[in-house]
Structure 1
Amino acid sequence: MNTPLATASGTPSGTQSGTPSLAVLPRPSADEFDAVLEHGAYMPLTQFGVIDATGDEAASFLHGQLTNDTQHLDAAHARLAGYCSAKGRLLASFLTWRSGDTIRLLVSKDVQAAAQKRLSMFILRAKAKLVDASGELAVVGLAGDVRRALSGVFDALPDGVHVQVDGTAGSLIRVPDALQRLRYLWIGPKAQVEALLPSLDDKLKRVSPAVWDWLDIRAGEPRITQPVVEQFVPQMVNFDVLGAVNFRKGCYPGQEVVARSQYRGTIKRRTSLANVPGELANVRPGTELFHSDDPGQPCGMIVNAASAQGDGVDLLVEIKLASLEGGSVHLGAPDGPALRFLALPYGLPTEV
């Protein structure tokens, strides 16, 4: 079920010409959406890659590069983290966890190579090494009523969000629910995972990885992909709310900008959940948004997009908070399709 990479036909804001971008996944069928919501489903996630950080100083090295604490990352928990430029703009987003002596970073495949290369430039004399482990590991998402099926693979299941367990089949991490359905990530040796997947087929339906993109959006969890690299400080994509930023840790690239945004009350843009008519071919991350009361300049940008259940495309959009107070927001141009805003599954702090 490998999804080929496609070359972007255009160069949206934040991309580099000629850089491969993730292929547009076809719209899942109605029964694929229904499987998650009514029963349970699993989906091999070809849109992700994995970077392994090894060595005695791997944790301290990453601690000085990412927005979250990796120095005190224990074997029972996973953490979201961002990787910023010196200007505090996100270059990548990761889910981080320990597997034995290795710290693993789950990342969107289209930004993996650039992020890994940039991080490696700063290792210098640190006793740390970064390697692309994507070829050796399989990443599988599970959603819905999946606990019984997973119990046949893992001896214990994570009992809270971002709790992880290690087993002979790899790591199992519970991630935030979407539409009140449980979700898990299973990352393990590729040959072993692929050998075990058929044992799930009598309990769960195998569905498209596009369903996972939709569930991430409905969970309100943004993912940095190539079209939006260097577009957002972490608070613009709610990373402070999602626990991806530790404001008490030491320095990292862009830390002063991120801290200043937090403590000076200058967060005037946030990420919201929305739906818009259309298909993914025409509704892409990096596309600008326009407000009816100020059509001369963009008011926001699509962060992530996925085919929605039923109709249209569900979106996570970074937007001026003032633009949510009235009028209408349109895709791509002042006369483009109007967005319909939905409630996020978590609250945002009141900005002053």
Structure 2
Amino acid sequence: MSTTQQLFESAPHFNATNMRVEQLTNGYICQLQDQSLIQANGDDAASFLHNQLSNDVEHLNQTQARYAAYCTPKGRMLASFLYWKTDSDIILQCSSSLQPALQKRLQMFVMRSKVKLEDISEQFAILGLGGKAAEIFLLTQFTQLPSTINDKVSGSMGSVIRVQDAFDSPRYQWIISHEKLATVSTQLTADLLKIDASIWRLGNIHAGVPQVVEQSKEKFVPQMINFELIGGVNFRKGCYPGQEIVARSQYLGKLKRRMAIALVEAETVEVTMEIFSDNDPSQPCGMIVNAERNFDKRFACLIEIKLADQEQGKVHLGVSDGPVLEFIPLPYAYLDVTE
């Protein structure tokens, strides 16, 4: 067992069913074991990925992180990535449920390009941190912290990325080698509340940040889950698989399907579970994108749904007379990012 595993398995863990959101304000940390890292290196790494993903990779600098979709030729998302550059390498973060198949698929298209793809998940701990004490701690490891969403700072203690805020506090993702983490494990235990990664995923839901997982691959065109609104699609870059479909969805007529946040009281909520509207109960109007138990014991969900059906009290989970969904505001507006 690694030092990282010992650190998190020996500490008390809290999830949304046994704590209050106010407890997160001081500072918390969790290990994101459901995430994997693929490293791309070589002279052609940037140009290769630029031609595969929905976002600009060639002009990525050392102080940025970005989202990108990896799509089928029909524009359906095989994966959602968070990616960044470290020295000459580009790191792709995705759901662990997808990593082996994604790496194999990307490898198929390398051909003569000078690119090496490697799973480096076992070499690093991927940590999620938030709250005042987390910022104070990180400033003991880095000379400064990234102040803007999706900015990145790197140093001898790895890389820290500012991600979307949640629970009324800034959040950071820290990627660090297990060996380096072992040198500060005692301080971590003393200063930060150890929480379950489900709370981190809950924060992503409240921030309106979706992730494609094994169950939901090939279900969505990026705009259906607001992926361009969080900076995951560049409409001015060159071609990539599915680019024509993604562009056509944006430019030809108003988008009719979007992602929303909703709360629902239910025994369980699963990814890709269908939802039904009173407007037409004979067929589903959308599906669950991500879901986690909320602090009020209900489930918080990201749902893909027809815009016309986003009506309070009229949308149900699972079946036409199932539990009613309560819509809550997204932290961003529906905009046309091409204008």
| Distance in 2 separating the partners of 1:204 and 1:179 | 16
Note if 1:323 corresponds to 2:306.
no
Q: Paired residue for 2:54?
A: 67
Equivalences for 1:68-107 in 2 at 5 Å? 68-107=55-94
8 Å CA contact 1:33, 1:211 repeated in 2? no
Whichever residue aligns with residue 237 of structure 1, its letter is I
Q: 1:51 to 1:350 in 2, by over 3 A?
A: closer
8 Å CA contact 1:90, 1:229 repeated in 2? yes
Using the TM superposition, give the Cα deviation of residue 197 of structure 1 relative to its aligned residue in structure 2, in angstroms. 3.2
Equivalences for 1:1-352 in 2 at 5 Å? 27-31=15-19, 33-36=21-24, 38-145=25-132, 146-279=134-267, 282-325=268-311, 328-349=314-335
Q: 1:91 to 1:179 in 2, by over 3 A?
A: same
Using the TM superposition, give the Cα deviation of residue 85 of structure 1 relative to its aligned residue in structure 2, in angstroms. 0.4
Consecutive aligned runs of 4 or more in structure 1 exceeding 4 Å deviation: none
List per-residue Cα deviations over 1:156-191 (Å, max 9, x = no partner): 211111110111111000001113310000012122
Q: Secondary structure at the match of 2:333?
A: coil
Q: 1:46 to 1:32 in 2, by over 3 A?
A: farther
Question: Which structure 1 segments of 5+ residues have no match?
Answer: 3-24
Q: Secondary structure at the match of 1:30?
A: coil
Whichever residue aligns with residue 89 of structure 1, its letter is R
| Distance in 2 separating the partners of 1:350 and 1:287 | 28
8 Å CA contact 2:313, 2:324 repeated in 1? no
Q: Secondary structure at the match of 2:229?
A: coil
Question: Which structure 2 segments of 5+ residues have no match?
Answer: 6-12
The percent identity for this pair of structures is: 44
Whichever residue aligns with residue 265 of structure 1, its letter is G
8 Å CA contact 2:17, 2:294 repeated in 1? no
Q: Paired residue for 1:13?
A: none
Whichever residue aligns with residue 316 of structure 2, its letter is H
8 Å CA contact 2:41, 2:89 repeated in 1? yes
Using the TM superposition, give the Cα deviation of residue 198 of structure 1 relative to its aligned residue in structure 2, in angstroms. 2.8
Q: 1:148 to 1:27 in 2, by over 3 A?
A: closer
Q: Secondary structure at the match of 2:281?
A: strand
Q: Secondary structure at the match of 1:174?
A: strand
Whichever residue aligns with residue 255 of structure 2, its letter is I
TM-score with structure 2 length normalisation? 0.92
Aligned length: 326
TM-score with structure 1 length normalisation? 0.89
Q: Secondary structure at the match of 1:201?
A: helix
